[in-house]
């Protein structure tokens, strides 16, 4: 059966050639290219594009038609040409009659930083465009596909759609809600502790898990922690991987307790730090912090702390699409209870700390009814070095 017959997202106004192994292969390559932009493209999506020409050439898949990749590219960031434009510009020969694979619907809108990709595709003579997912930007949202198919290009949308949507979860949430996609990450013992009663937490999990966390940090736009963790651990929160970008480091510090010698302040030339506080915090301390190059933003005073929705709205306005929360029990608890978390990634080390005074991974108010428990769906489990990683999506109530 052709892939097209099964997929409800196909653009049905065009005659469908059979989607086969080749299409999946090239879409996977487009997705892999798109990923190279991780941590750099926000508030734009990660997009990869590949142009493939039929005819003479290398057989890319055993037993399949000879095909040549004649151009490829990915989106490097806002203000820089889009993936399709890069692939077209890089093409090593004529693209007439070729197929273009891209994980996101080509843009067709104007009044933005770069020209519409649909114009470039139409001019180029490309005959077929295979798309991973629709662009949820209300200015596009299917119109790019429409423009291309109206002009006689064979367009097929929805190939590896789930993978495309996972890749751009941050962009999808930001462009549709104005708020970032939030990942809550924690490293804990089997009994759910993140530190001893004295606050010692280095290290709960092994090297492999910590390496994954550095990778995660370099793929998000911002990392959030609470002042409790800053005081206990004095962390840097940067990615120590070569050539990787560092996220904006955000501290929730309602009373501006942060020390002026905290690493998050003294290292602000390496990576930016933003402190979120409330109205009642000392203006003098704010000036001292700002003098050292760190931005401070104030929120209206609330006894329970700064509401997460306000934090997400503020970060969204700054163009943050992907946010990583790196605990403390208090911040973990509040973010989960306030419904701010989209995805959790928990590393579990096979050890116990025991006791009521060791620090719990999720603290604060408890949930009294079992039916009201915060539920995780699409759970994935993997072994990372000597630890276990459990991840999944938080089910929204």
Residues with catalytic annotation?
A: 84
Q: Give the C-alpha separation, 257 to 278, whole Å.
A: 12
**Count of positions on this chain that bind Zn ion (CB under 5 A):** 3
In the complex with Zn ion, the residue whose CB is nearer, 134 or 210, is 134
Interaction between residue 321 and Zn ion (CB under 5 A): no
In the complex with ligand AOF, the residue whose CB is nearer, 109 or 337, is 109
Q: Which does 44 bind (CB under 5 to 8 A by kind): ligand AOF, Zn ion, none?
A: ligand AOF
**Residue 238 vs residues 111, 246, 248: alpha-carbon distances, Å:** 35, 6, 9
Q: Which does 237 bind (CB under 5 to 8 A by kind): ligand AOF, Zn ion, none?
A: none
In the complex with ligand AOF, the residue whose CB is nearer, 171 or 299, is 171
In the complex with Zn ion, the residue whose CB is nearer, 124 or 246, is 124
**CB-based contacts of 334: which residues, under 8 Å, 6+ apart?**
304, 305, 308, 364
Q: Give the C-alpha separation, 30 to 248, whole Å.
A: 28
Please give the full DSSP string across 253-301, using - where no structure is assigned.
Answer: -TT----TT-HHHHTTTTS-EEEEEETTS-HHHHHHHHHTT-EEEEE--
Q: Give the C-alpha separation, 298 to 304, whole Å.
A: 15
Among 381, 279, 365, 373, residue whose Cα is nearest residue 329:
365
Q: Which does 45 bind (CB under 5 to 8 A by kind): Zn ion, ligand AOF, none?
A: ligand AOF
**CA 332 from chain center: how many Å?**
19
Site string for Zn ion, 66-85 (x = CB under 5 A): ----------------x---
In the complex with ligand AOF, the residue whose CB is nearer, 86 or 361, is 86
In the complex with ligand AOF, the residue whose CB is nearer, 134 or 249, is 134
Annotate 335-380 with three-state secondary structure.
HHHCCCCCEEEEEEECCCCCCCCCEECCCCCCCCCHHHCCCEEEEE
Q: Which does 113 bind (CB under 5 to 8 A by kind): ligand AOF, Zn ion, none?
A: ligand AOF
**Torsion sign (Cα): 203, 207, 210, 214:** positive
Strands (E), 44-168: 48-54, 67-74, 99-104, 128-133, 154-157
Q: How far is the CB of 155 from Zn ion (least distance, A)?
A: 15
In the complex with Zn ion, the residue whose CB is nearer, 88 or 324, is 88
Cβ atoms of 373 and 358 within 8 Å: the answer is: no
- Read off φ and ψ for residue 380, nearest 5 degrees: -125, 140
**Residue 273 vs residues 185, 236, 285: alpha-carbon distances, Å:** 19, 10, 15
Residue ranges binding ligand AOF (CB under 6 A): 44-45, 47, 75, 78, 82-84, 104, 106-107, 112-114, 117, 135, 137, 140
Q: How far is the CB of 140 from ligand AOF (least distance, A)?
A: 5
Site string for Zn ion, 82-121 (x = CB under 5 A): x------------------------x---------x----
Report the C-alpha dihedral over residues 51, 54, 57, 63, rounded to 10 degrees.
110
Q: Give the C-alpha separation, 14 to 113, whole Å.
A: 31
- Which residues bind to Zn ion, rule: CB under 5 A? 82, 107, 117
């Amino acid at each position: 059966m052709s892939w097209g017959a099964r997929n409800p997202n196909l653009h049905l106004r065009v005659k469908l050639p059979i989607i086969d192994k080749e299409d999946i292969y090239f879409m996977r390559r487009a997705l892999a290219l798109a990923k190279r932009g991780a941590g750099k493209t926000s508030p734009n999506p990660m997009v990869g594009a590949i142009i493939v020409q039929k005819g003479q050439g290398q057989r890319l898949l055993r037993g399949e038609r000879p095909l040549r990749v004649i151009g490829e590219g990915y989106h490097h960031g806002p203000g820089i040409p889009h993936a399709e434009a890069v692939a077209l510009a890089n093409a090593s020969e004529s693209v007439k009659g070729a197929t273009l694979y891209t994980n996101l619907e080509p843009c067709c809108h104007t009044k933005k930083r770069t020209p519409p990709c649909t114009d470039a595709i139409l001019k180029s003579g490309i005959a077929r465009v295979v798309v991973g997912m629709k662009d949820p930007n209300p200015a596009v949202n299917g119109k790019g596909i429409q423009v291309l198919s109206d002009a006689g290009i064979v367009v097929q949308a929805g190939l590896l759609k789930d993978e495309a949507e996972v890749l751009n979860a941050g962009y999808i949430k930001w462009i549709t809600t104005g708020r970032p996609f939030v990942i809550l990450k924690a490293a804990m013992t089997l009994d759910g502790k993140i530190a001893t009663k004295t606050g010692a937490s280095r290290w709960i999990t092994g090297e492999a898990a910590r390496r994954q966390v550095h990778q995660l940090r370099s793929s998000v736009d911002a990392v959030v922690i609470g002042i409790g963790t800053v005081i206990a651990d004095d962390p840097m929160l940067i990615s120590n991987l070569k050539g990787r970008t560092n996220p904006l480091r955000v501290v929730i510090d309602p009373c501006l307790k942060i020390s002026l010698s905290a690493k998050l302040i003294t290292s602000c030339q390496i990576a930016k730090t933003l402190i979120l506080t409330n109205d009642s915090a000392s203006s003098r301390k704010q000036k001292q912090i700002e003098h050292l190059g760190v931005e401070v933003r104030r929120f209206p005073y609330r006894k329970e702390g700064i509401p997460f929705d306000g934090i997400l709205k503020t970060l969204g306005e700054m163009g943050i699409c992907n946010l990583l929360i790196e605990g403390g029990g208090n911040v973990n608890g509040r973010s989960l209870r306030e419904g701010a978390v989209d995805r959790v990634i928990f590393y579990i080390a096979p050890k116990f700390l025991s006791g009521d005074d060791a620090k719990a991974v999720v603290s604060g108010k408890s949930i009294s009814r079992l039916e009201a428990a915060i539920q995780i769906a699409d759970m994935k489990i993997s072994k990372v070095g000597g630890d276990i990683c459990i991840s999944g999506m938080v089910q929204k109530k």
